Amino acid sequence: MSRSTYLITRSLVALTAFVVFLWLFFVPPTIQAGGSDNSYRGCHSVGWNFLGDFYLMTGRFDVENPQKIKKYVEGANTSVRPEDDVVAPTIHEACKEARQGRSTLINAALAFFAVAFLSIPKPKSPREISAG
């Protein structure tokens, strides 16, 4: 492997790791209920809540759009009405679990890319090739 191929490969692995990290960190996770076609996309991303829980004032930071919640609850085939006080904490907990899962995925992806980055073999110098 030549030196330029080595540097390009390592740069591509590092860039891919950076893009994957940003995508997982800033793109909001979705939660599913009922059938596979019923998903709620109102959760905040891992990056939004990275510095702490900002929902303590209202307790409902993941519950911003009542229409989205109504559609989500109706698709779940449940008897709970969207205006019940049970819905907001339940969605909040589901979003919190989705963010925790996303955090685990971030750690696994970064570990994978670190191993890939470090396992790229260094190019041999001309002296090592002629001596070996």
The pTM (predicted TM-score) of the whole model is 0.70
Write the pLDDT tens digit of every residue in 45-64.
887 755 555 544 455 556 66
Number of domains present in the structure of the chain: 1
**Cα within 13 Å of Cα(19), Cβ side:** 6
- Residue 75 lies inside a defined structural domain of this protein: yes
Where do runs of H (alpha helix) occur along 48-125? 66-75, 87-119
What are the structure tokens assigned to 92, written together?
A: 């909040």
With beta carbons less than 8 A apart as the criterion, state whether 110 and 21 touch.
yes
- Residue 63 lies inside a defined structural domain of this protein: yes
Neighbour count for residue 75 (Cβ, 10 Å):
16
Q: How confident is the model at residue 22 (pLDDT cuts 50, 70, 90)?
A: very high
Q: How confident is the model at residue 81 (pLDDT cuts 50, 70, 90)?
A: low
Q: Which of 63, 56, 45, 16 is nearest to 103 (CA)?
A: 45
Query: 37: domain range?
Result: 3-120
- Residue 98 lies inside a defined structural domain of this protein: yes
- Residue 36 lies inside a defined structural domain of this protein: yes
Mean pLDDT in the chain?
77
pLDDT of residue 74: 66
With beta carbons less than 8 A apart as the criterion, state whether 28 and 49 touch.
no
DSSP helix/strand/coil, 34 = coil
Q: Which of 88, 85, 87, 96 is nearest to 44 (CA)?
A: 96
- Residue 22 lies inside a defined structural domain of this protein: yes
Q: Is the four-CA dihedral 46, 58, 62, 101 of positive or negative sign?
A: positive
Write the pLDDT tens digit of every residue in 106-132.
999 999 999 999 999 988 776 655 655
Q: Is the pLDDT at 34 greater than 80, yes or no?
A: no
- Residue 126 lies inside a defined structural domain of this protein: no
